[in-house]
Chains A and B, each alone.
Chain A
C-alpha cells in the first residue's frame, strides 16, 4: 500500500493536466487569420481565455478545462452527456423523473431535477430560465454538432457572472465562420435520427451564420423493478384489500426525446446579434411521483436574443454594451400515476365515498386512464449590461461592469384529471372531490389550485476585477510570471436582498515550465421562483422565506509544461456550501408527508483533479483525467421527536456521506490515426461505486408514528456498483477524391455493462441507463 501511495504522489506531480489552452484568434476564421500580416500575427496571444479578457490560461484565476470540436468529433459523442462526463470532477446522471441531465461537480449537485448551480452560456450569453434559474433541458439537449469549443470553469464564478455560477460555468462556443455550408446526418440505436445544417457568410464589414439541428430518439429503455407506487401505494392498497399491485412495475419503457435547435449570429461593424431557439420535447418514463408512467410530454421552448456593441479603446481595451431578451416556456403534461394505480384509486375512492356517506357516486377514472397533471408557465429575462476592459501593457488589467435585469414569471396554468392530493379534498366550482378521486374530465384548476404564483424580480449588479502583474511591471529576474488578481461583485435582488462575492488569485510561475495558483472564491445562488413560490403541487412546496445559498472554495493548482505544448495540471479543491436549498421531507403521520424547500444543510467537498493531454507520436495521442472527491454533510443537525413513552428525545448527527456520490472518476481517451483517412478513438469512462446516504433517523412505530428510541439508517441498500463504459469511434476523413465527406461509426457502452443512476425517493430500484448502442454519421462540407 505504501508503494502505491508513493507512486501516486509521484504521479500527481508528474501528471498535471493541462489547464486547457485556447487561442486569441479562436474566433477568427481561417480567412481572417490568413489576411493578417506576419507582424499582426505576432501580436496575437497564442494562449488566452475567452471571458472578456485575453489571459494566458495558465495565468487565469480559475481552474478550467476546454473541450474542442476536434475532440468531440473524433470521440463520436452524440450528446452533451457523453461530452461533459469527460471533464474532471464531472459526474453526469439522469434522475428519470426530470428531463434534465444532472451535472454533479466535485461531488456536489443542484436541487433535484434542476441544474441551478451550473451557469450555462451559449457564446457567453446565459441560457437560463427564471423559473428554475437553470438552463433546464438545454444543458443536456444542446446539439454537440454545433459546438466549436466548450469552456468549463470549475469552481465559483459569481464575481464575473453573478448568481448561478455556483459550482461551475459551462460556456458553449458555436462553430467558426468558415464561409461554407455544412450538413450532417446521423442515425443509430433506439431509432435515433439527427439532421444538422450550418451556413456562414462573411462580408467586409460583418458576417452571418445560421444553424439548425433536429434530433429525435426513442431513447434507451428504462427497466424499473420498483417505484413509489409499488413501494408506497401498494401497502395502503393491501390494507384496503385491493387484490393486485397498483403499479406499472416491473416494466421496460423507452425515454423519447425530440429537439429542434436554431441559431443565428450576425455582426455588422461594431454591432453583433446572437439569437437562438431550442424546442425540446422529452418523454421521461418516471413521473413526478417517481412512479413508472407511459405517456409524458415535457415541452420546453427557450429563445434568446442579444444585441451588443463593442467599442475598441485604442487597442488597449474595450467597452461592451449589450441588451438581451430571453423567453422560456414550460409545458409539462405528464402522468403522475400509471393506470394500474388509478384503478386502485377508483377502488379506494369508492370505499371512502361510501364510508363518508357522501351523496351520489364517486367519479371514476376510465379504464386505462392514468392520473394526469399539466403545468404551464412562461418566464422572461430582459436587461442590459455594460463592461469595460482596459489593459496597460499587461502590467495592470481591469475589468469592470454593471447590469440590470428584470425577471418575470407569468401565464401560469394548471390542469388535471383528478384530485392529486393524498390527504386534501378539492372544491372546483361547485364540484367536490375527495383525495385521489377522478374529475371525469381534464379540468383547468388554475383559479383554485394553480401550481405557482406569478412573480417578478429586479436584479442589479456591479462588478470589478483587477490584475496586477508584478513580473511585467518590475524586473524579477528569472521569475516567469507573478500576478495578483482580485475581484468582487455585488448583486441585489429585489425579492431576496443583496450578496457580495469576492475572489482572489495569486499566480506564480517560477519558470516557463512550472506554475502555481492559489485561488479563493465565493459565490451565491438566489432561490428560484420555483423554490420560492411553488404551491398546490403534487409533490413540492415552495418557501418564500428562503435566502440565498452560498459557497466558498479554495483551490490550489500546480501546472507543469515539461516541453512545449505538453501540459499537465493537478488541482486541489475544498468547497463549503452553506444554507443549501433542498427539498426537506416532512412526514407528519404514516400517510401524511410534505416536501418543502428549506435552507438546510452545510456540505463540504474536497479532493484532487488530475488531467493530462499529450501525444505519443504524430499518430497517437492520449488524454485523460482522474478525480478523487469526498463529500460530507457537515450540518451536524440535531434531530428531535417524541417517543412512544411520550418523552422528548434528541439525536445529534455527526458528519456523514450524503450518498449517491462516487469517490473516484476516471477518463482515458486514446486517439490513433491509423492511416491518413482513418482515425480511431477509444475512450474509457469509470465511475466508482455510489454508497447510499449514511443519514440516520428515528425508527418509528408504523401505526402511531412515534419514535421507538432506536436509530435506523434511512437507506439500507447496497451501493450502486462501479462501472466502466468503453466507447469507440471510427472516423473516415480526408478520403482521396471526396475530401469534403466524412463517415463515422461510433459505439457507446460497448461492453454492455450495467449502468445505474441513483433515484431520489424510490428505495427498491435505481435508474438503468443505456446499454450498448451505435451511431453512424455522414458529414459533408460545400
Chain B
C-alpha cells in the first residue's frame, strides 16, 4: 500500500508540473478589475451592454457571471474557440490558453476589442492590459499604444492607476 501512495503522489506531481493554468482563488478580484475596465474605456461604435469574453479561466468566468446581475452594463460570453473573440468588446485571456496569445492578437488586430491577459508579460507584446501581483496587491500594465491601435479611448484616470508602457 505504501508503494501505491508513492505512485499516486508521483502522478499528482506530474500533473502539477504539466499544468500551467491558474488556480484562481483570487478570480473574484481579476473579474472585478475586468468589469471595472469597461467604465474607463470608450468603444466608439459599441452598444451596451459591453460583452466580456473569457478564454482559458473558468473561475473568472464564474466570478464575472456573479457580477452581471449587479452591473447592468456588462454581459458575459463564454469563448470556446478563437473565432468567438470577435463578438466581444473585452477579451480576457487566461494562462491556460496563453499559447494562443499571438493568434488572438492577430485575430482582433485593429478591431474595437480590449485584450486583457492574466500573463503579466503580454502587455509588452501587444496586449492592451496585463495583470501582475505586487506583493499582496493586484496591479496592471497598460499598453497605451496597443489600445489606440484597437481604436479605443482610454480615460486619464485609468492611465493614472496603471503601469503604462
Contacts and interface: CB of A to CB of B under 8 A. Distances in A.
Contact of B25 (A4, A23, A24, A568): A23
Q: Which of A33, A562, A619 has the most CB of B within 10 A?
A: A33
A14 B6 contact: no
A673 B1 CA distance: 31
Contact of A615 (B22, B66, B138): B22
A445 B133 CA distance: 67
A15 to B, nearest CB: 5
Interface string B70-112: 1100000010000000000000001111000000000000000
A11 interface: yes
Interface residues of B, number: 57
B1 A610 contact: no
Contacts of B71: 34
A46 B133 CA distance: 9
Q: Which of B9, B20, B24, B36 has the most CB of A within 10 A?
A: B9
Given A34-B70, A47-B136, A616-B21, A25 B29 contact: yes
Interface in A544-573: 562-568
A429 B5 CA distance: 64
Nearest to B65: A734
Given A622-B15, A664-B2, A34 B67 contact: yes
A565 B24 contact: yes
A38 interface: yes
B164 interface: no
B51 interface: no
A468 to B, nearest CB: 16
A15 B21 contact: no
A48 B138 CA distance: 13
Contacts of B48: none
B158 interface: yes
Contact of B22 (A10, A68, A565, A722): A565
A34 B26 contact: no
Nearest to A1: B3
Contacts of B67: 30, 34
B3 A4 contact: yes
A439 interface: no
A42 B10 contact: no
B123 to A, nearest CB: 15
B32 A14 contact: no
Contacts of B65: 734
Main secondary structure of the interface of A (DSSP, over half): mixed
A42 B138 contact: yes
A47 B26 contact: yes
B26 A615 contact: no
Given A38-B161, A664-B2, A688-B1, A44 B29 contact: yes
B45 interface: no
Interface in A600-639: 610, 612-619, 621-622, 624, 626
A41 B19 contact: no
B22 A619 contact: no
A509 to B, nearest CB: 10
A47 B85 CA distance: 31
B1 to A, nearest CB: 6
Contacts of A734: 65
Given A42-B138, A564-B118, A676-B78, A612 B16 contact: yes
A34 B32 contact: yes
A668 interface: yes
B66 A30 contact: yes
A617 to B, nearest CB: 5
A30 B138 CA distance: 18
A284 B158 CA distance: 62
B17 A14 contact: yes
B35 interface: yes
Interface of B: 1-3, 5-10, 12-13, 15-17, 19-26, 28-29, 32-33, 35-36, 39-40, 56-59, 61, 65-67, 70-71, 78, 94-97, 118-120, 133, 135-139, 157-158, 161
B118 to A, nearest CB: 7
Nearest to A35: B70
A interface bracket (residues with beta carbon within 8 Å of B): 35 or more
A618 B58 contact: yes
Interface string A92-109: 000000000000000000
A43 B33 CA distance: 12
Given A4-B6, A30-B70, A45-B136, 11 more contacts: A15-B12, A15-B13, A20-B25, A23-B29, A38-B36, A42-B139, A44-B138, A46-B137, A54-B136, A616-B19, A617-B96
Contacts of A54: 136
A39 interface: yes
A4 B12 CA distance: 14
Contacts of B56: 618
B19 A38 contact: no
Q: Which of B16, B65, B120 has the most CB of A within 10 A?
A: B16
Nearest to B160: A39
Contact of B58 (A8, A56, A619): A619
A563 B22 CA distance: 7
Contacts of B33: 38, 41
Contact of B6 (A7, A48, A567): A7
Nearest to A471: B135
A564 B61 CA distance: 17
Nearest to A567: B23
Interface string A202-224: 00000000000000000000000
A11 B13 contact: yes
24 contacts: A4-B6, A7-B6, A8-B9, A14-B16, A23-B26, A23-B28, A25-B29, A34-B67, A42-B138, A47-B25, A562-B16, A564-B120, A610-B9, A615-B19, A615-B21, A615-B58, A617-B19, A618-B94, A621-B23, A626-B12, A664-B2, A664-B5, A676-B78, A686-B5
